Homo-oligomer: A and B are copies of this chain.
Amino acid sequence: MDILTPNDLASIKRSVDGGTEKQRETVKEILADVQSKQDEALYHYTNKLDGASLSELRVTEEEFQQARETMDAKDIDILKEAAENIRSFHEKQVRQSWFDTNEDGTVLGQKVTPLDAVGVYVPGGTAAYPSSVFMNVLPAVVAGVDRIVMVSPPSEEGILPAGVLVAAEIAGVKEVYKVGGAQAVAALAYGTESIQPVDKIVGPGNIYVALAKREVFGDVDIDMIAGPSEIVVFADDTAKPDEVAADLLSQAEHDERSSSVLVTTSETLAKAVAEEVDKQLEQLPRKDIAQASIRDFGAIVLCNSKAGAIDVVNSIAPEHLEIMMEEPLGVLGSIKHAGAIFLGRYSSEPVGDYFAGPNHVLPTSGTARFSSPLNVDDFVKKSSVIYYSKQAYEQNADKIARFARLEGLEAHAKAIEKRKDDES
């Protein structure tokens, strides 16, 4: 790994895939097709793109049962414990409706209401991601969303991975469809004969899924579109080089475009980690991916001062930040931009990927400057509630009418004054 200074910061690349013009055209075509031909289009694209010829889109009770029987009981227990941790952390985020009263009779507040229906996209491919099911579904469950629908592209044999189905069942999702890609997003946004539309679509997917979500945004809500995974390890010389290296590599194995960066003031640590990364790389089954990722998007930034290092961390605004320092808690207040912050030696990033409870759906590509981990707030909306008593009205009517006229809106003033005319 290259050792850089903060001045080289601009050379730390992050990859954001905006898609090609051709991909955008394809997505628009699929969206239009699903809107006009509905289920027929879903079967067509599932056959064409996933190679699966289905007779029904919805996952049956038998398929759930088969999935349960396929899985090791010990794995199921771990999934259940993880789900419990995730549910418990998200339950602490739940907000109540509230109101505030004034002696003049005014009541003002916010009514918090869960969304009616949410769609969760679960990517297909070789690896089954039960953790992705939990992280996207459970905040919606905790928020009180009535209908949660899952979609995922089937294998050529027309089935979904056992881990995904078992996780869905543990999370309490009963409505699962074997459809993926832009066609699944279209079905969730606009509905078909089989799939009723939803109000919000969450969950990661390939570039076609991302482009489709961007396209339907506004008609329905979507979550942030995720880029490749990222980690910054902020460490001093109390950190162990082999542990730092292992954590950097755990991001690098995700994707050739993942970014793994060490920020430190310790030259000794910098050099030792660089060596360790090379050594540990050799032992990884996903070595090729991790190696490419480290080469193209990995870096070690050596800083002169702790303050300078903190600036580097904030300017990167990483998805994951590990603080492996003597007093990690003392640094927390200086971290302004990061999706998830892991404190101390035993809080390795994978702890948060699966098990601890906080969400692993996190802002990438520097969007931690303005966005948050997926959370319960993403599955509720607020309505303002306004009550003016007669007394509050009488005290303020003239001022409100005058304000309306200041903005040139006479009917607004009249609506206020109308109550005066008719007082009885």
Pairwise interchain contact A116-B336, C-beta atoms closer than 8 A: yes
Asked if A352 is an interface residue, CB under 8 A from chain B, the answer is yes
Pairwise interchain contact A346-B389, C-beta atoms closer than 8 A: yes
| Chain A residues numbered 306-330 whose CB sits less than 8 Å from any CB in chain B | 328-329
Pairwise interchain contact B116-A415, C-beta atoms closer than 8 A: no
Which residue of the partner chain B has the closest CB to A399? B78
Pairwise interchain contact A370-B221, C-beta atoms closer than 8 A: yes
Complex interface: chain B residues within 8 A of A225 (CB): 218
Please report the C-alpha to C-alpha distance between residue A288 and residue B415 in the assembled complex, in whole angstroms.
Answer: 18
Complex interface: chain B residues within 8 A of A408 (CB): 126-127
Please report the C-alpha to C-alpha distance between residue A146 and residue B53 in the assembled complex, in whole angstroms.
Answer: 56
Please report the C-alpha to C-alpha distance between residue A373 and residue B380 in the assembled complex, in whole angstroms.
Answer: 12
Pairwise interchain contact A399-B81, C-beta atoms closer than 8 A: yes
Asked if A7 is an interface residue, CB under 8 A from chain B, the answer is no
Chain A contact residues, majority secondary structure: mixed
Please report the C-alpha to C-alpha distance between residue A227 and residue B250 in the assembled complex, in whole angstroms.
Answer: 45
Pairwise interchain contact B341-A416, C-beta atoms closer than 8 A: no
- Contacts A163-B406, A384-B341 known; A414 to B346 CB distance under 8 Å? no
Pairwise interchain contact A98-B92, C-beta atoms closer than 8 A: yes
- Identify which of B341, B402, B410 contacts A286 (C-beta below 8 A): B410
Asked if A340 is an interface residue, CB under 8 A from chain B, the answer is yes
Please report the C-alpha to C-alpha distance between residue A243 and residue B329 in the assembled complex, in whole angstroms.
Answer: 59
Asked if A37 is an interface residue, CB under 8 A from chain B, the answer is no
Which residue of the partner chain B has the closest CB to A252? B411
| Chain A residues numbered 54-108 whose CB sits less than 8 Å from any CB in chain B | 74-75, 78-79, 81-82, 89, 92-93, 98, 100, 106-108
Asked if A190 is an interface residue, CB under 8 A from chain B, the answer is no
CB distance from A155 to the nearest CB of B (A): 15
| Chain A residues numbered 220-246 whose CB sits less than 8 Å from any CB in chain B | 220-221, 225, 240, 242-243, 246
| Chain A residues numbered 367-412 whose CB sits less than 8 Å from any CB in chain B | 367-373, 375, 377, 381-390, 392-393, 396, 399-400, 402-404, 406-412
Spot the interface stretch: A174-182, A262-270, A355-363.
A355-363
- Identify which of B246, B400, B410, B418 contacts A351 (C-beta below 8 A): B400
Pairwise interchain contact A415-B127, C-beta atoms closer than 8 A: no
Central interface residue in A163, A240, A384, A388, by most chain B CB within 10 Å: A384
Spot the interface stretch: A21-29, A128-136, A297-305.
A128-136
List of 7 A-B pairs having minimum Cβ-Cβ separation, nearest first: A346-B393, A358-B384, A340-B384, A221-B370, A250-B415, A253-B411, A372-B382
Additional pairs, 14, CB under 8 Å, beyond known A220-B370, A341-B385: A74-B402, A78-B403, A92-B98, A130-B407, A242-B422, A284-B410, A284-B414, A340-B384, A350-B415, A351-B388, A354-B400, A370-B381, A371-B381, A372-B381
- Listed in ascending order, the chain A residues whose CB lies under 8 Å from chain B are 74-75, 78-79, 81-82, 89, 92-93, 98, 100, 106-108, 110-111, 113, 115-116, 126-131, 163, 199-200, 218, 220-221, 225, 240, 242-243, 246-247, 249-250, 252-254, 280, 283-286, 290, 328-329, 332, 335-359, 362-363, 367-373, 375, 377, 381-390, 392-393, 396, 399-400, 402-404, 406-416, 418-419, 421-422
